[in-house]
Amino acid sequence: MSNPDYMTAEQVAELLKVDRSYILQQCRQGKVSGAWKINPANKNSPWMIPTSTAHEMATERERNTNAQ
């Protein structure tokens, strides 16, 4: 499945250079704006994250890294 408007949690984790489990946890906790599951009834269903949100997360992470 490829949709330029959305990225999977795996793709976002790769973009941010973090572990996939961190992104999944953030999604489950409602901390990722616009994230949704393809099939909420299936716990193994992939999370879809708006590409714009993923890039905002990357920008914020870079800002935080540069500030340290």
pLDDT tens track for 2-23: 678 999 999 999 999 999 999 9
Residues 17, 31: Cα–Cα separation, whole Å? 18
Rounded to an integer, the average pLDDT of 18-34 is: 97
**pTM of the entire structure?**
0.86
| Interval 44-53: pLDDT, tens | 999 999 999 9
Name the pLDDT band for 37 (thresholds 50, 70, 90). very high
Instruction: Measure the CA–CA gap between 68 and 48, rounded to whole angstroms.
Output: 30
Residue 22 CA, chain-centre distance (Å), reads 9
